[in-house]
Structure 1
Amino acid sequence: MSLHYDKFILFGDSITQFSSAEPNGFQSGLQNLYMRKLDVLNRGFSGYNSDHAALILPRILEQELNVNKNNVKLITIFIGTNDAFQIEDDINNIQAVPVERYKQNLSKMTKLCLENNIKPIIIGPTLHDSKLSKSLLVEKGRPTNKDATTNSRNLQYSNTAKAVAEEFAVAFVDLWDAFRQYGGWSEEQLLKSNGTVDSQHYVHLDELLVDGIHFSPTAYSIFRDKVVESISKYYPELSADSIPEKLAYWHDINPKDLVGSIFK
């Protein structure tokens, strides 16, 4: 039996990059699930948008794919949170991407994955806590009276990501709605929520978003579970239960025939 491990790439922005911090979080949870089956690689890049992602993904795949282009089995593409920003400052010129170009970039990346025999899981932006994110932006020297983005705007980008997934018939994880369901909020409540001080429509999302943007351990757990569900639904042959472990279970090792029983 070969000890070569095929790959599962987690590709995205800071939410992906920071996802290994929790013992049973997103990356670590998936790695635990696919232990002795696939190598789970984190390729998250803080602050990046879909323009940047579409540029670097081909180079990442050049490094990770073998000559037969059959060793990268799965990839999550979680880009759009920075694209949806609408802050009016110099940094916004680096991060914000119009929704139509966002769609083009996602389509380009999805097509690239399929051409290389990789099963993509597309994730669109989820909820946003404007009040918390304003505090974060102040800490980073980017004070603004305008909401960094809104739940309405993030929903637009999430629906765009969903449309791309449907066009290519690939997996989509609707984190916007998954978080909504977890909190028991209606869509109307979330669309009305804003960061205005003492706003009667403000919905507290601090259980899910530690700073209005990045995920709490709870949010990462929801994210992980939804990705696992999507793999079982769209790519059941690549679910953890469908992939055999490398090498024999220890109880099946024959002390009198180590090579034959371990590598059977």
Structure 2
Amino acid sequence: MAANVQNVIMLVGDSITQGGWEPNGFAQQLAYVYNRKMDVINRGMSGYNTEWIIPVFEQCFATQHEQQHAPKVRILTIWLGANDAALPGTAQHVPLPAYGENLARMIRMVTSPESAWYSPDTRVLLLTPPPVNTYQWRERQAMKEPPRGLDRDFAVTQSYAERAAQVAREEGVAVVDIWTRMWDACGRVEEQLSELLSDGLHLTEKGYAIVFDEIIKTISENYPELHYDRLKPVFPFFDQINYDDPRSSLTRMNAFD
């Protein structure tokens, strides 16, 4: 494999993924542990659902023809559903069957040899949407100008999380079950989700810590070769430099060699 190949992690999702760059967000934590080995590309789009993200994904993920000139995506996280699960009548709502079909379509874009975006070196992690705290979200909606009604439902969001997990199993990719992990972490009491959710929908630092831990756990169990401890630095550590002839030891390498 060519030494100058750049390897990256791509994060695709909605505002919860976009917010992964917040202090101690999961994207920031991934960038830290994979530092000098793989870069993190965040393509979280606030407010987006699976219908709207697909055209974006088609433009952000390199086609087979383009991949020889683009960074190699080794890990792809797909995290959508929080907006799809908005109640019918809202602009963001995507019916449950269509939501599942959209997730499967995105996965197959990368995993199917017949796809223009086929990338055999990419490993997909499908994250389930987190639980919604309707107590918090109701308060947030009421504070808007003009005030808005409740457009999320706990049980509905749970059904979207279950559908995401089912799609992962059907498509043969790893699932990161954020819904169950966060629900267990709050003692399965909706009001106590306030420790993990800042407004009933978006995550706190503690919530993102759970996401990061679950992603690393899933990588360890399903794609151990991609764990950050298994990869080499692209450039050598300082004590490995040839001090008499530094340039000779500072050639960019591949973390997977």
Q: TM-score, normalised by structure 1?
A: 0.85
The separation in 2 between residues aligned to 1:222 and 1:3, in whole angstroms, is 34
The separation in 1 between residues aligned to 2:70 and 2:22, in whole angstroms, is 31
1:260 aligns with 2:257: no
1:120 is paired with a residue of what secondary structure? Answer: strand
Alignment of 1:118-129 (within 5 A): 118-129=122-133
The alignment yields a C-alpha RMSD, in angstroms, of 2.2
Alignment of 1:60-209 (within 5 A): 60-62=60-62, 66-67=67-68, 71-86=72-87, 88=89, 92=90, 94-114=91-111, 115-117=118-120, 118-141=122-145, 143-145=147-149, 147-185=150-188, 189-190=189-190, 203-209=191-197
Q: 1:247 aligns with which of 227, 235, 253?
A: 235
Q: CA deviation at 1:142?
A: 6.0
Q: Is the 8 A contact 1:70 1:116 kept in 2?
A: no
Per-residue CA deviation, residues 112-164 of structure 1 (Å, 9 max, x unaligned), is: 1222222111112111111211222233346345x422221111111111111
Q: 2:222 aligns with which of 204, 223, 234?
A: 234
2:195 is paired with a residue of what secondary structure? Answer: coil
The separation in 2 between residues aligned to 1:230 and 1:249, in whole angstroms, is 28
Instruction: Indicate the residue corresponding to 1:195 in structure 2.
Output: none
The separation in 2 between residues aligned to 1:2 and 1:160, in whole angstroms, is 40
1:209 is paired with a residue of what secondary structure? Answer: coil
Per-residue CA deviation, residues 19-57 of structure 1 (Å, 9 max, x unaligned), is: 1111x3211100001111111011010000010112221
The separation in 1 between residues aligned to 2:12 and 2:86, in whole angstroms, is 19
Q: What is the letter of the counterpart of residue 243 of structure 2?
A: P
Q: What is the letter of the counterpart of residue 85 of structure 2?
A: A
The separation in 2 between residues aligned to 1:142 and 1:44, in whole angstroms, is 27
1:43 is paired with a residue of what secondary structure? Answer: strand
Q: Is the 8 A contact 1:69 1:116 kept in 2?
A: no
Range moving further from structure 2, 252-261 or 100-109: 252-261
Q: What is the letter of the counterpart of residue 124 of structure 1?
A: T
Unaligned runs of at least 5 residues, structure 2: 112-117
1:36 aligns with 2:36: yes
- Residue 221 to residue 63, structure 1, CA distance change in 2 (3 Å): farther
Range moving further from structure 2, 240-249 or 8-17: 240-249
Kindly tell me the number of residue pairs found equivalent between the two proteins.
243
The separation in 1 between residues aligned to 2:94 and 2:56, in whole angstroms, is 16
Q: CA deviation at 1:84?
A: 0.4
Q: What is the letter of the counterpart of residue 5 of structure 1?
A: Q
The separation in 2 between residues aligned to 1:43 and 1:180, in whole angstroms, is 26
1:241 is paired with a residue of what secondary structure? Answer: helix
Q: What is the letter of the counterpart of residue 132 of structure 1?
A: Q
Instruction: Indicate the residue corresponding to 2:50 in structure 1.
Output: 50
Per-residue CA deviation, residues 153-196 of structure 1 (Å, 9 max, x unaligned), is: 111111111111001111111111111221222xxx55xxxxxx
Q: What is the letter of the counterpart of residue 125 of structure 1?
A: P
Q: CA deviation at 1:3?
A: 5.0
Unaligned runs of at least 5 residues, structure 1: 191-202
Q: CA deviation at 1:242?
A: 1.6
Q: CA deviation at 1:99?
A: 0.3
1:19 is paired with a residue of what secondary structure? Answer: helix
